[in-house]
């Protein structure tokens, strides 16, 4: 009996749990799959389709990185995370990459020891209210009950907005988007607030989307982007430049349809560098020459990904707006591939 | 013939630590304790090393900085500019509120169900068995969510009560049951001490008055008991007791101008304003914890009653006591000795299960400190340590109080 206690104690001591901070890219290659943290389900951004396959705008980033690093866009293990669990999952190493409409903020970047490698969606916080309420501005919401997803920047923006306008509200904190929608539709709250893109995505799933309006006020800046752990810059570079490759591809007119042909026919030196026929950009980030080509081939360029998942042709129906290329008056501006 | 003699003294050798049965167990225990301490130290140093490697450190300074978020149900003044520490206090008070409410109702429910499970009436007995089996065999989280969902789906929206010509009038002119909670009038005092507005001081005074009434009523009962023992006739104390309870209250209310803040349907187009609002999350959590734990307490009560020898019941019946007096005067007092120890652990369960509050958006300590604060500051280890400390302190305090009660109820052997 006593021996077993000793043995038990020895076993615990023997289990060396020191998290080796080896390079993430080596871990991913050794594992053969990319562990990617996504939402628990937000249609258009990350949600399983009818076949159980994850699809969406954020999912495409994960798949593009997997295609670039592993050569296989399906070699991704999707790990659903809530607003509360996402950062712990990333810092503990459970996921290699967090692509979960996460707002880039100062303290998350510095204090929480993460790196935001870019912005894949420029968003802002909005309010969804039933049309029947007759509210035309968020400033009319004095005394309203507002549903919020807890653990998000929206929680703090909401408090700031109402304080700045000197009006009162009653918050109803809710864990997931799905529960928040259920509460909102049951009338347990007058308004639901989250990123405007998320509101549009949720409204698209309502029975009668026309009975609900998104108020004109956008009360915050919400640059959403993929996140990696601070300190592993090689891995951060890979994710950053994969995202930039998708954006540059749209700018240069490279699409999933014409990429194979472009490889041979292009006369544009930047396209040639992007697709690996000229220069050795791939080797500089520790990948082969065709990394970006594979990402574009499987996922399409940024514009294609946008149009397929959340664009105006989809039920979610988001306009490009701020997320247009800089050449079209938007904010998307990738550094050059040189 | 040789005689047996004591082993020679002073001949302790090191090998005896293992070979001598007198020392072996001590040796092994010492080794195990050292190994355990080493293991704990290893785990701690591992944590510290990993935190250092990640560039993080353990610091509680975030408690002083402004929380930045709002909380819907607070027992003390709080706004988004208050500190994280104050948000934690709000959470602690909310945890204690729901725990105390649920302990009271679960006990009442449990005692009734436990006694009725032993009823001679077949229907009542089976109904109570059904209650116990259904409610204790489904996880409490599911109950909380089911009750909350039913509340929000079945109750009318708050907007049904609003406007000049509402769909629904306030019940009795003062109550409103909505899917956001129950609205009721809030009492307040218009006159404070030495003039001015009423304040918390009025409420303290009111409590003092009630305590005085309690002791007054007890004195009356005791004197009635003495008279009954002396003469055999019990004087009627109902009127005088009523007067002792009500008269001071009425006088106090008149002096300090007790007034009621009514829920106002016309204040705005979203919610009833004014009065007391008991939020739907609190109701769902309270109700779910009560019926779930009530089922366990019912079983404890049944076990306690069955532990009392049947002879006691028969002897009491032979003395001519009616069944309900047999239960309250003879069986239950003896059963309490068996009931209280498991009851303590049920109270602890209620307190700990209240941490499921976040499932319905009730701002308990797990939701404020362990949820929003943790998430907004990223101080996971510090927040979780504080949470553990809080639950430990609360649970040990409940145990201590209940153990005092248990000792006072224990069979006193003379």
Is the Cα dihedral A140, A143, A144, A150 positive or negative?
Answer: positive
- Predicted confidence at residue B9, as pLDDT, reads 60
Tell whether the model's pLDDT for residue B94 goes beyond 50.
yes
Taking CA atoms, A151 is separated from A174, A191, B288, B365, B375, in Å, by 9, 18, 25, 15, 5
The string of pLDDT tens digits covering residues A136-173 is 888 888 888 899 988 777 888 889 899 999 988 888 88
The pLDDT of A219-230, averaged and rounded, is 91
Chain B interface, mutation test: which of A4, A6, A8, A9, most B Cβ atoms within 10 Å? A9
Tokens of A38: 């996504």
Assign A74 a pLDDT band (cuts: 50, 70, 90): very high
Could you state, in order of their start, the residue ranges of all structural domains in chain A? 24-122+224-328, 125-220
Residues of A with Cβ-Cβ distance to B363 under 8 angstroms = 173
Chain A interface, mutation test: which of B36, B270, B383, most A Cβ atoms within 10 Å? B270
Say which of A6, A111, A173 has its CB closest to residue B31: A6
Q: DSSP secondary structure string, A11-26? A: HHHHS--------HHH
DSSP assignment letter at B118:
T
- Fold observed for domain A24-122+224-328: D-Maltodextrin-Binding Protein; domain 2 (3.40.190)
CATH of A125-220, picked from 3.40.30.10, 3.40.190.10, 3.40.630.30, 1.10.3720.10, is 3.40.190.10
- Predicted confidence at residue B360, as pLDDT, reads 86
CA distance A58 to chain B (A): 22
Pairs of CB atoms within 8 A across A/B: 135
Domains A24-122+224-328 and A125-220 share a fold: yes
Residues of A with Cβ-Cβ distance to B271 under 8 angstroms = 143-145, 170, 190
Torsion of CA A127, A129, A133, A139, to 10 degrees: 0
Answer for the pair A57, A309: CB distance below 8 angstroms, yes or no. Answer: yes
CA–CA gap between residue A88 and residue A229 (Å, rounded): 11
How far does Cα A303 stand from its chain's mean position?
16
Say which of A107, A145, A171 has its CB closest to residue B270: A145
Assign B102 a pLDDT band (cuts: 50, 70, 90): very high
**Yes or no, beta carbons of A6 and B43 under 8 Å apart:** no
The pLDDT of B361-370, averaged and rounded, is 88
Chain B, 280-339: which have a CB under 8 Å from a chain A CB? 280
- Predicted confidence at residue A335, as pLDDT, reads 94
Tell whether the model's pLDDT for residue A12 goes beyond 60.
no
Touching check for B204 and chain A: CB below 8 Å? no
The ipTM (two decimal places) reads 0.71
Q: How many domains does chain B have?
A: 1
Tokens of B414: 């003379």
Answer for the pair B276, B283: CB distance below 8 angstroms, yes or no. Answer: no
Structural domain including B97 reads 84-150+279-409
Instruction: Return the ∠ at Cα B281 (arms to B280 and B282), rounded to 5°.
Output: 90
B194 vs B288, more confident: B288
Tell whether the model's pLDDT for residue A9 goes beyond 50.
no
The pLDDT of B21-49, averaged and rounded, is 90
Most trustworthy range by pLDDT among A15-29, B208-222, B257-271? B208-222
| CB contact burial B91-110 (16+ within 10 A = b; e otherwise) | bbbbbbbbbebbbebbbebb
The string of pLDDT tens digits covering residues B228-277 is 888 888 888 888 888 888 888 888 888 877 777 777 777 777 777 777 88
Answer for the pair B220, B241: CB distance below 8 angstroms, yes or no. Answer: yes
Does some domain include residue B303?
A: yes
- Predicted confidence at residue B11, as pLDDT, reads 74
A292 vs A107, more confident: A292
Does some domain include residue B196?
A: no
Does some domain include residue B393?
A: yes
Assign B196 a pLDDT band (cuts: 50, 70, 90): low
The pLDDT of A170-192, averaged and rounded, is 86
- Predicted confidence at residue B23, as pLDDT, reads 84
| CB contact burial B248-259 (16+ within 10 A = b; e otherwise) | beeebeeebebe
Tokens of B248: 């001071």
- Predicted confidence at residue B14, as pLDDT, reads 80
Q: How large a percentage of chain B has pLDDT more than 70?
A: 92
Question: Would you call A169 exposed, middle or buried from its count of C-beta atoms within 10 A (0-12, 13-18, 19+)?
Answer: buried
Say which of B268, B361, B371 has its CB closest to residue A151: B371
Q: For the domain that residue B97 is a member of, what is the CATH number?
A: 1.10.3720.10
Assign A117 a pLDDT band (cuts: 50, 70, 90): very high
- Predicted confidence at residue B414, as pLDDT, reads 66
Touching check for B35 and chain A: CB below 8 Å? yes
| CB contact burial B55-65 (16+ within 10 A = b; e otherwise) | ebeeeeebbee
- Predicted confidence at residue A4, as pLDDT, reads 45
Tell whether the model's pLDDT for residue A326 goes beyond 90.
yes
């Amino acid at each position: 009996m006593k021996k077993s206690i000793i043995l038990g104690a020895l076993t615990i001591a023997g289990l060396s749990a020191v998290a080796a901070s080896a390079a993430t890219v080596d871990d991913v290659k050794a594992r053969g799959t990319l562990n990617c943290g996504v939402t628990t389900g937000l249609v258009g951004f990350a949600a399983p389709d009818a076949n159980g396959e994850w699809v969406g705008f954020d999912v495409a980033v994960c798949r593009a990185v997997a295609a670039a690093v592993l050569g296989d866009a399906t070699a991704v293990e999707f790990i659903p995370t809530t607003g509360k669990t996402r950062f712990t999952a990333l810092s503990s190493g459970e996921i290699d990459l967090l692509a979960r409409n996460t707002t880039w903020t100062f303290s998350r970047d510095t204090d929480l020891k993460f790196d935001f490698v870019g912005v894949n969606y420029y968003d802002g916080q909005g309010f969804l209210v039933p049309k029947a309420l007759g509210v035309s501005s968020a400033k009319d919401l004095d005394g309203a009950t507002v549903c919020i997803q807890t653990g998000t920047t929206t929680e703090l923006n909401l408090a700031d907005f109402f304080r700045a306008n000197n009006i009162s509200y009653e918050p109803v904190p809710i864990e997931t988007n799905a529960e928040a929608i259920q509460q909102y539709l049951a009338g347990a709250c007058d308004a639901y607030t989250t990123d405007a893109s998320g509101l549009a995505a949720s409204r698209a799933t309502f029975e009668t989307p026309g009975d609900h309006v998104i108020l004109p006020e956008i009360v915050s800046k919400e640059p959403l982007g993929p996140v990696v752990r601070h300190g592993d810059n090689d891995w951060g570079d890979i994710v950053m430049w994969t995202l930039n490759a998708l954006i540059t591809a749209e700018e240069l007119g490279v699409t999933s349809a014409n990429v194979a042909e472009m490889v041979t026919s292009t006369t544009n030196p930047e396209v040639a560098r992007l697709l690996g026929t000229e220069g050795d950009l791939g080797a500089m980030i520790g990948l082969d020459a065709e990394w970006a080509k594979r990402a574009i081939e499987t996922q399409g360029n940024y514009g294609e990904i946008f149009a397929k998942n959340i664009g105006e042709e989809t039920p979610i129906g988001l306009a490009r707006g701020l997320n247009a290329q800089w050449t079209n008056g938007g904010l998307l501006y990738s550094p050059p591939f040189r | 013939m040789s005689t047996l003699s004591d082993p020679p003294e002073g001949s302790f050798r090191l090998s005896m630590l293992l070979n001598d049965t007198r020392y072996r167990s001590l040796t092994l225990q010492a080794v195990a304790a050292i190994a355990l301490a080493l293991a704990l130290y290893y785990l701690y140093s591992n944590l510290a090393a990993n935190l250092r490697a990640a560039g993080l450190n353990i610091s509680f300074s975030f408690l002083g900085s402004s929380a930045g978020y709002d909380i819907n149900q607070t027992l003390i003044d709080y706004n988004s500019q208050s500190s994280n520490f104050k948000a934690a206090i709000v959470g602690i008070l909310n945890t204690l509120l729901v725990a105390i409410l649920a302990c009271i109702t679960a006990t009442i429910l449990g005692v009734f169900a436990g006694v009725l499970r032993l009823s001679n009436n077949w229907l009542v007995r089976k109904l109570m068995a059904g209650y116990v089996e259904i409610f204790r065999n489904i996880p409490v989280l599911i109950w909380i969510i089911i009750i909350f969902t039913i509340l929000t789906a079945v109750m009318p929206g708050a907007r049904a009560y609003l406007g000049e010509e509402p769909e629904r009038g306030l019940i009795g002119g003062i109550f409103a049951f909505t899917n956001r909670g129950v609205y009721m009038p809030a009492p307040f005092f218009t006159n404070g001490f030495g003039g001015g507005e009423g304040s918390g001081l009025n409420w303290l005074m009111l409590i003092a008055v009630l305590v005085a009434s309690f002791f007054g009523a007890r004195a009356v009962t005791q004197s009635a008991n003495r008279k009954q023992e002396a003469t055999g006739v019990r004087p009627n104390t109902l009127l005088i007791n009523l007067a002792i309870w009500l008269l001071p209250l009425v006088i106090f209310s008149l002096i300090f101008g007790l007034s009621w803040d009514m829920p106002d349907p016309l204040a705005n187009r979203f919610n009833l304003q004014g009065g007391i609002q008991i939020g739907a999350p609190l109701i769902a959590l309270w109700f779910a914890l009560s019926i779930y734990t009530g089922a366990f307490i019912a079983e404890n009560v049944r076990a306690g009653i069955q532990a009392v020898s049947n002879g006691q019941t028969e002897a009491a019946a032979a003395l001519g006591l009616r069944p309900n007096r047999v239960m309250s005067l003879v069986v239950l007092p003896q059963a309490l000795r068996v009931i209280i120890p498991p009851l303590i652990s049920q109270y602890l369960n209620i307190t700990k299960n209240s941490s499921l509050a976040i499932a319905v958006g009730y701002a308990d300590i797990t939701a404020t400190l362990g949820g929003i604060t943790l998430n907004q500051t990223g101080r996971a280890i510090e927040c979780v340590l504080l949470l553990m400390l809080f639950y430990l302190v609360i649970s040990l305090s409940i145990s201590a109080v209940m153990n005092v009660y248990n000792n006072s109820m224990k069979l006193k052997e003379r």
